[in-house]
Structure 1
Amino acid sequence: MWRLSKCTYSCSWCLYLAAVSCAERGLRSHLLLRGEQPEVLTGYNLVSTMYGNVQYVPRSRYANREEMLRTYADLVAGDDGSVLWVKDIVEGLEATDVAKMDDLSSSKTSRRKVLIVNEGAGDALALLGMFRLVQYLSQDHLLGKTKPVRFVVDAGTGTTTVGLGVAAMCLGLPWEINAVMLADTLENYKRHEDRLIAEFTRQFPASVFCSSLDMNHMIKWVDRQHPRKFGKVLEGEVEMCQKIAQETGVLVDPMYTLAAWEIAAELVQDEKSSIVVMLHTGGTLGMFGLAQRYKSCFTNLKD
């Protein structure tokens, strides 16, 4: 096993967690954020800067994510370095890559190795983390393995959704995953789902988990109650987040988790036989950035 000296990540509200993990293991992280640097760093922008080397990438260049990541990683690696994607480790290196890595390991001057983690950890390897979560939640003293459960999750890249579905199906759980589409079309989410499942079955023997993966009845992609271009906050949504926090103690944000909350509340009204569970994916530190972009929404909040 070869030890990484650097990791490169693309924009995600959870990337600071990866930066923390890298710092704990002595790895240097490069965090690529879409858009312009805020005048005052707060929230994820501030925390990410404390842990990693943050670079703001113009939106036009960020649009082609893989090319942007690879270009930056090549720059970090330099002429004598090597660049890999996370999925390369799982799927196995080509013979030429193995030889190259061996040469690097034996060299005293050429030891820079760069690993790219895609946006939203959007590779099949990320699905393994959802297996842990589903195994935990399906314990008898929590949700159990026999009761029907309707999950609701906000879908950015959609990787969390697919991970929940794959894990629930492989463990034979009577669960349904309702994914609220935030950033793309149904066609593209389905395409992402198919790609992840194809990668997963190729990287991990089917016999280890389950014999077949048919997500048609497990995952339901649904529109958010108030569709809009990703990143836009509608009038009254910040006040709704405040109301939910004050009445329930649950802090949701208007960009991600409010959408899941709204659908979950809708399902609860009609549900009699199943448990409805909203998976809170985080995103609350993003409120700091939203407060800078939508100042009037926050300054008008009532006590």
Structure 2
Amino acid sequence: MKLQQRLPLPLPVSCGFRSSAHLPHTLQGIAEAKLGCEEFVAKLLDRRWTLPSPDTRIQQIVSAPKRIEEEDGLLKDKSWFNIPNPLLGDKITDKSGPDSSFYVIRDDLLHPLINGNKVRKLDAVLPLLEDHSVTDVVTCGGCQSAHAAAVAVSCAERGLRSHLLLRGEQPDILTGYNLISTMYGNVKYVPRSVYANREETLKTYASSVAGGNGCVLSLSDILEAPLTEQIVSSSHPISTSMDDQRSLGNFSRKVVIMNEGAGDSIALLGVIRLVHHLSQSHLLGKEKAMKFVVDAGTGTTAVGLGLGAIYFGCSPGKSLL
């Protein structure tokens, strides 16, 4: 299975998630990443998930030539047909040509209100929040952010409070994801000049939500620290030395900051889980060359697809779309 995307994908030297400044872009880096990584990732995927199963519906769109008659003669064109239950696994063939059909991963059907890849990125995140008794989630996005709406709905379903910092001004009429965010979460509109420094804006707002007896954490904090002890920050500085770590249970509100678009390392796991599922021999497999076309904002979904392709023995494409 080959992955192609618009931007080069950073590849890790080891199995851990590292910053892009230290990631190689060579085929040697790919080979090093594969060694022992499947077992490592299998352990990462052995956790509690939001989705009971990584399964998703796969549909095939097939083109067929048709003739359209116009005043100046006959013109050839194409029509498209949807096959809801296509042949997969060993029955996938290339006989019809590379441009005659494509597959659609229908993750948009996973939830009635949450856009497809948003569900995947929250797949591993939400159980982590529940396990650490988080009470509030602060995140940000554009006025019509699908990510903000997904966080609002998901938190409401689990009794968590969501706080959404949306870029720009409140529209006169609430529609789409903006309406959903307002219905399910606590929305605050942030001027574009302030939103430009969203990291600091998120921290400041999260501290106000936490109050005097609350703590503020990032997803990285709760991912890396033990379940019973956390490194916390708040409006009143708390020592972060190992001897002075405070138990999360001592705080009345536990506020977690989630990056824009769920651009956090833990969010990659849900996408990697999807690749693991799709790479099974009865679905897309690992042997057939597949080009994945994905829209990317923060790039989290694209990175997760690329890492999954590497970890589970799928070869990433060398050329770019």
TM-score (norm 2): 0.51
How many equivalent residue pairs? Answer: 176
Aligned counterpart, 1:150: 291
Aligned counterpart, 1:26: 159
Aligned counterpart, 1:105: 249
State the alpha-carbon separation in 2 of the partners of residues 153 and 174 from structure 1.
17
Aligned pairs for 1:151-300 (under 5 A) are 151-176=292-317, 217=318, 220=320
State the alpha-carbon separation in 2 of the partners of residues 49 and 119 from structure 1.
17
The alpha carbon displacement at 1:24 in A equals 1.6
SS in structure 1 opposite 2:283? coil
Query: Is the counterpart of residue 117 in structure 1 residue 251 in structure 2?
Result: no
Evaluate the alpha carbon distance shift between residue 139 and residue 17 of structure 1 in structure 2; reply closer, same or farther with a 3 A threshold.
same
- 8 Å Cα contact 2:231/2:246 also seen in 1: no
Residue 166 of structure 2 aligns with an amino acid whose one-letter code is L
State the alpha-carbon separation in 2 of the partners of residues 38 and 101 from structure 1.
42
- 8 Å Cα contact 1:83/1:113 also seen in 2: yes
- 8 Å Cα contact 1:150/1:175 also seen in 2: no
Query: Is the counterpart of residue 45 in structure 1 residue 178 in structure 2?
Result: yes
The alpha carbon displacement at 1:105 in A equals 2.3
Evaluate the alpha carbon distance shift between residue 149 and residue 50 of structure 1 in structure 2; reply closer, same or farther with a 3 A threshold.
same
State the alpha-carbon separation in 1 of the partners of residues 178 and 213 from structure 2.
31
State the alpha-carbon separation in 2 of the partners of residues 127 and 83 from structure 1.
22
Query: Is the counterpart of residue 78 in structure 1 residue 211 in structure 2?
Result: yes
Aligned counterpart, 2:189: 56
TM-score (norm 1): 0.54
Query: Is the counterpart of residue 140 in structure 1 residue 270 in structure 2?
Result: no
The alpha carbon displacement at 1:100 in A equals 5.7
State the alpha-carbon separation in 2 of the partners of residues 94 and 5 from structure 1.
17
The structure that is helix-richer by fraction is 1
SS in structure 2 opposite 1:174? coil
State the alpha-carbon separation in 2 of the partners of residues 172 and 140 from structure 1.
12
State the alpha-carbon separation in 1 of the partners of residues 170 and 231 from structure 2.
39
CA RMSD of aligned residues (A): 2.0
State the alpha-carbon separation in 2 of the partners of residues 163 and 105 from structure 1.
32
Percent of aligned pairs with the same amino acid: 57
- 8 Å Cα contact 1:82/1:112 also seen in 2: yes
- 8 Å Cα contact 1:82/1:101 also seen in 2: no
Query: Is the counterpart of residue 9 in structure 1 residue 139 in structure 2?
Result: yes
Q: Which has the larger radius of gyration?
A: 2
- 8 Å Cα contact 1:151/1:175 also seen in 2: no
